[in-house]
Amino acid sequence: MERSWYWRFLLVLGFVGLAAYYAAPSAIYFMATPEQRRSKSELEAMIPSWLPKHRFNLGIDLQGGLHLVMGVDADKAVQDRTDRMGDEILEEAQKKDIKLKSVRRPGDAPELEIVLEDAAQWEKLKSVLEAWKGSWAVKSHLGDTAVFSMDSAYETKLKDDAVAQAQKTLTNRLPVVGEAEIRRRGASSIMIQMAGLTAEQETSVKQNIIGRTAQLEFKVVDDQSTYFNEIADQPDRPPEVELKSESYQGPGDAIVTRPYLESTDRAKLKAFLDRHPAPLGRVVGLEEFRTSKNDPKPVYRTWLLNKKADLTGESLTDAFVHFDTEENAYVVIMNFDRKGADAFHRLTKENTKRKMAIVLDDLVDSAPIIQGPIPNGTARITLGGFKSQNEILDDANDLAIVLKAGALPAPVFPQEERTVGATLGDDAVRKGKLALLFAGLATLVVMIAYYRWSGVVALTAMSVNMLLLFAILAAFDATLTLPGIAGLTLTIGMAVDANIIQFERIREELRMGKTARAAVDAGFGKAFSAIFDANVTTLLASIVLYQYGSGPIRGFATTLGVGVLVNTFTAVIVPRLIFDYFTKARRVQELSI
Amino acid sequence: MFNIVRPDSKIDFLSKARLFGGISIGSFVIAVAIISIFGLNLGLDFSGGHEILLEFDGTKNVRIGQVRERLDRVASGDIAQEEGGKRSVETAVQSFEVPTSTSTFFLARIERQQTFGDQEIQAFDAAFRAKYKEFFKRIRYNPDAGDVVEVEFVDNATTAMGKPIDPADLEAIVAGTQHEVRLVRDIGRPDRPRFSVVLKGIGVSVVNAMRDLDPSVRAARVEFVGPTVGRQLRDDGLLAVLYALMCILVYIALRFDVFYSPGAVICLFHDAVVTVALLAIVGEEFSLATIAGLLTLVGYSINDTIVVFDRIRETAGKAQGAALREVVNRAVNETLGRTIMTSSTTLLACICLMALGRGTVLASFGEIMFVGIILGTYSSVYVAAPIFIYLRERFGPKEVARVAKTRSAQFEV
């Protein structure tokens, strides 16, 4: 026996072992009953903890659930911005004693028509308008009328932000039941998929996200109350809810210690808080805290806030990230309109060195410390924490998006909505399993009847193929949909075909009077080019389909592409290994083919 | 060793090339004609609209006619006001089988492009204007948004009117037209009042309309696809397939040579178009799952063609004329055993999908593949190979190679 055989054998064995390890959680998932599949805790109990956490999921079409595609009316956000721009121009003009007859948006385009009472004041107005250079420009000017229009790059950015904000808002609003997947799809759509919802949960999801816009509020944090300490002593406190505290320099440079409750279980924390109402005029806000962006398990922290919002997002005109060259740090700048600026000034003066919570849709996003009174309507938030510059930039962008979501909310509307009842999904899975099982059995019978022991070799190769394929899909947390199963069947078909091509070639060589060993060598050699070309063509096609296709076509392309890759490996290596063992080690003269 | 095909089989496939070539061209033309005349039965994925799977618990005998009548009433409710019912709404009802359940199912479909017609929007506009006079600014309606209408008031309308706007009034105006309002939301600023009126959606209206038939009715599945999404899905799909074909064309030209690729790609077109025409004839609905089936078919067909081409490449050399035909014939004969084995195992698998996957997309997938395997095998021999021979004879190298001398005179048929 050649040494290379042992190496190849070890390679295949290694791959199979690794694949079995990765495919195991998915296999357990598939064997589970539909009820077990839907319960997260039961599933966790079934899958041993030493197995990988990755496994694949069934798509909405297979396990039932809600598939929503929400469109974002980004044009609306741009128009709103334009309207606010009009307000700002009016304000500025008034300050500079420029008399304006009117400022209006004539159509849906982001353009403002400014009419002066006195055409001679144009130069003065022009210098005012210069302040928005970069994002706005004077498009035309004739006599007393000027057209001020939004820069197209700025418009694109606004629209892009609008979609990001809508995604943030939608994420905030989804109740924590089942597993939700939220992804951006195309330029202005957001896809939401939630599996295993009851009818009531589904209604509440839709209620929560359709036809609503984001609510941004600024609320001062109550750091004096002992409310959290008191309720933490109550006997009904669940063990998951812990009392903690944080310290920072508060008013008069005194150290303030603020107590709060923390828990990883949002539902239990919420229920506990509901049993113990907050003091008069106060409300408890929850913060979803993650140590890093990709942290899958957030903890929930409580904040005691003023019940009435001290300021709302309506007063905010804009928010953006800015690199401060003096401090050498990223900061978030907020601009308030005139009314907002006054309120903000009062708020910051009265609450210097206190924390101010930024609340989006009842969830506390963050709570910066007010460093001093802010009189001019422009506030800056410096971000900190032991983080790298890049992480801080990420945080700053997130915060700016939250602030903008409140300032310029873009309406979202359903574009696509699919609900598959759980029973229908279960039925599809049951039938699919049965159909695939019988399809496999039929192939098995035909292959063994015709190719005898070689048929068994082909099926061994196919099993290794499926195992590797499942392991790779599981490692990538792929979602299996019906089109995905279609891609899988084509893969199996091509795998079996590859073996048939090889066997027919070996038969041909045998008929020409070659020995078993020579026939195997020649047969595999000659069959290779056809198998290789067929697989590469299909791989190319699946890459293109994945790149340009959407939704179901992508699902098909994923399984097909991965399948074909695995195919070129297994269909060539595994049968050869077995044939070589029999012809070379066992010196079999007569092939069962 | 048992052989399906005799190892020395020498069937002269190409002697019938003209006949089958004619049949292929003919069937392609007829297929294109059928598709363009009858059109495709576009499923919800591409046409856009609503699809509701109604479930009755089976205690009462509900007839399809009763369901259809009520569905039509809901669908045309608000459109009846339009002049002469110019904009017709297509509805369809079919019974639906779920073997594991004792309930009765009906699949109701409303191919409605938008929730409100222009006339209706104008009527709303007039109603709002009549109620709120100069304080009403306008209503915004995005047909893509379907179930939401936005009502805008002029700046400082509430202060000017001296009283706040009651959402219930807004609800009353919209609900006056067959629609059920889910909620009215205040989305404005104090100085710039604005509301969004969210409807419950046609799904709820349809289920409610069925209540008098059987109170147990519920929606087992609701699907809604907006008009632009349908168009986008279709365009994306078509574009993806076109690019994939182009890639295949280039790859085959590189690995084989330029005479091979047109045959391979035309053969894919042939298979796909003829299958689509067959689907159009039997009235099979065209959905994204159908696209997945067609893609699989194309994948299968290209696999088959490459196997035959690989054999031709192996022995063709510079052969021309009769020698080239013989090379091709021999290649087809030599791969015949493989072709029959592969197609029969795959056909068997398809039969399993068709028989056991009834009612799911797996069955329609199996049907498409069943047709596709037969077509794919046929077209490798009678579409791809003849085109290759033709191109090569017409434009290929002109020398006659040695193979011609060994040409055997006799062919068995």
C-alpha A81: how far from its chain's center? 27
A519 and A561 housed in the same domain:
yes
| Mean pLDDT across chain A | 84
Segment B90-106 shows an average pLDDT of 77
A504 and A367 housed in the same domain:
no
pLDDT tens for each residue of A185-208: 777 888 888 876 766 677 777 766
A489 close to B (CB below 8 A): yes
| Number of domains chain B is built from | 3
| Number of domains chain A is built from | 3
Which range has the worst mean pLDDT, A55-69, A323-337, A386-400, B106-120? Answer: B106-120
Contact flag B221-A69 (C-beta cutoff 8 Å): no
Contact flag A450-B346 (C-beta cutoff 8 Å): no
Q: Which of B98, B142, B299 sits opposite A560 (nearest CB)?
A: B299
Segment B372-392 shows an average pLDDT of 90
Angle at A220 between CA A372 and CA A365, to 5 degrees: 100
Cβ within 8 Å of A, B 17-56: 53, 55
**What is d(CA B112, CA B123) in angstroms, rounded to the nearest whole number?**
19
Cβ within 8 Å of A, B 208-237: 218-226, 228-229, 232-233, 236-237
pLDDT at B413 (0 to 100): 36
Q: Which of B4, B252, B307 sits opposite A530 (nearest CB)?
A: B307
pLDDT at A502 (0 to 100): 93
**What is d(CA A578, CA A573) in angstroms, rounded to the nearest whole number?**
9
Nearest to A449 by CA among B361, B270, B4: B4
A524 compared with B100, residue with greater pLDDT? A524
Q: What is the DSSP letter of A232?
A: H
At which of A389, A413, A440 does a domain end?
Answer: A389
Q: H or E stretch including B215?
A: none
B105 and B190 housed in the same domain:
no
Q: Which residues contact A436 (CB under 8 A, 6 or more apart)?
A: A485, A489
Token digits for B238?
Answer: 């078509």
Which range has the worst mean pLDDT, A174-183, B1-10, B67-76, B170-179? Answer: A174-183
With respect to residue A117, please indicate whether it lies within any of the assigned structural domains: yes
pLDDT at A18 over 90: yes
A383 compared with B142, residue with greater pLDDT? A383
ipTM: 0.74
What is B296-362 written as a DSSP string?
Answer: HHHHHHHHHHHHHHHHHHHHHTT--HHHHHHHHHHHHHHTHHHHHHHHHHHHHHHHHHHHHSTTSHH
B327 and B379 housed in the same domain:
yes
Domain region containing B370: 13-43+227-406
Q: Which of B99, B148, B360 sits opposite A432 (nearest CB)?
A: B360
pLDDT at B13 (0 to 100): 83
Q: Which residues of B touch A434 (CB under 8 A)?
A: 356-357
B285 and B363 housed in the same domain:
yes
With respect to residue A208, please indicate whether it lies within any of the assigned structural domains: no
**What is d(CA B16, CA A593) in angstroms, rounded to the nearest whole number?**
33
pLDDT at B31 (0 to 100): 92
Please report, for the domain that includes residue B166, its CATH number. 3.30.70
For helices A199-209 and A152-173, the axis angle rounded to 10 degrees is 150
pLDDT bin (cut points 50, 70, 90) of residue B240 is confident
A355 and A304 housed in the same domain:
yes
Q: How far B224 CA sits from the closest chain A CA (Å)?
A: 5
Per the document, the length of chain A is: 593
Q: Which residues of A touch B352 (CB under 8 A)?
A: 435, 438-439, 442
pLDDT at B410 over 60: no
Q: How far B83 CA sits from the closest chain A CA (Å)?
A: 28
With respect to residue B336, please indicate whether it lies within any of the assigned structural domains: yes
A34 close to B (CB below 8 A): no
A565 and A462 housed in the same domain:
yes
Which three-class secondary structure string do you get for A403-468?
HHHHHCCCCEEEEEEEEECHHHHHHHHHHHHHHHHHHHHHHHHHHHHHHCHHHHHHHHHHHHHHHH
Segment A59-83 shows an average pLDDT of 80
pLDDT bin (cut points 50, 70, 90) of residue B78 is very low
pLDDT at B285 (0 to 100): 79
Helix runs in A240-319, H state only: 266-275
Contact flag B302-A534 (C-beta cutoff 8 Å): yes
Instruction: Tell which of A504, A508, A568, A591 to mutate to test the B interface (max B CBs under 10 Å).
Output: A504
With respect to residue A187, please indicate whether it lies within any of the assigned structural domains: no
With respect to residue B129, please indicate whether it lies within any of the assigned structural domains: yes
A322 and A450 housed in the same domain:
no
Contact A337, A355 (CB under 8 A): no
Contact flag B148-A413 (C-beta cutoff 8 Å): yes
Please report, for the domain that includes residue B294, its CATH number. 1.20.1640.10
A198 close to B (CB below 8 A): no
pLDDT at A413 over 70: yes
Per the document, the length of chain B is: 413
Which range has the worst mean pLDDT, A32-41, A309-318, A447-456, A486-495? Answer: A32-41
Segment A513-533 shows an average pLDDT of 91
pLDDT over 90 for what percent of chain B? Answer: 10
Give me the phi and psi of A386, to 5 degrees please.
-85, 80
A448 close to B (CB below 8 A): no
With respect to residue B75, please indicate whether it lies within any of the assigned structural domains: yes
pLDDT bin (cut points 50, 70, 90) of residue A386 is low
Give me the phi and psi of A440, to 5 degrees please.
-65, -45
pLDDT at A562 (0 to 100): 92
Strand order in the sheet with A136-142: A100-104, A111-116, A145-150, A136-142
pLDDT at B85 over 70: no
pLDDT at A73 over 90: no
Give the Å distances, CA to CA, from A278 to A225, A271, A351.
10, 13, 21
With respect to residue B307, please indicate whether it lies within any of the assigned structural domains: yes
B153 close to A (CB below 8 A): no
pLDDT at B362 over 70: yes
B95 close to A (CB below 8 A): no
pLDDT at A433 (0 to 100): 77
Segment A454-459 shows an average pLDDT of 91
pLDDT at B406 over 50: no
Give the Å distances, CA to CA, from A401 to A220, A380, B57.
21, 15, 48
pLDDT bin (cut points 50, 70, 90) of residue B398 is low
With respect to residue A410, please indicate whether it lies within any of the assigned structural domains: no
With respect to residue B6, please indicate whether it lies within any of the assigned structural domains: no
A245 close to B (CB below 8 A): no
pLDDT at B318 over 80: no
- Chain B's closest residue to A416, CA to CA, is B225
Domain region containing A445: 3-59+422-585
Segment B152-178 shows an average pLDDT of 78
At which of A115, A137, A153 does a domain end?
Answer: A153
Contact flag B345-A496 (C-beta cutoff 8 Å): yes
pLDDT at A226 over 80: yes
B192 compared with A396, residue with greater pLDDT? A396
pLDDT tens for each residue of A310-360: 887 777 877 888 888 887 788 888 888 877 888 889 888 988 888 999 888
A47 and A82 housed in the same domain:
no
| pTM flag (> 0.80) | no
pLDDT at A212 (0 to 100): 59
Segment A573-577 shows an average pLDDT of 91
With respect to residue B31, please indicate whether it lies within any of the assigned structural domains: yes
B190 and B58 housed in the same domain:
no
Nearest to A502 by CA among A445, A574, A562: A574
Contact flag B183-A547 (C-beta cutoff 8 Å): no
B271 and B383 housed in the same domain:
yes
A20 and A119 housed in the same domain:
no
Segment A1-21 shows an average pLDDT of 89
A132 and A262 housed in the same domain:
no
pLDDT bin (cut points 50, 70, 90) of residue B114 is low
Q: How far A66 CA sits from the closest chain B CA (Å)?
A: 9
pLDDT at B30 (0 to 100): 93
Segment A409-434 shows an average pLDDT of 73
Q: Which residues of B touch A487 (CB under 8 A)?
A: 292, 296
A20 and A143 housed in the same domain:
no
A222 and A340 housed in the same domain:
yes
CA dihedral sign, ordered A566, A571, A572, A577: positive
Q: What is the DSSP letter of A553?
A: H
pLDDT at B403 over 50: no
B195 and B313 housed in the same domain:
no
Segment B86-100 shows an average pLDDT of 68
A461 and A545 housed in the same domain:
yes
| Mean pLDDT across chain B | 79
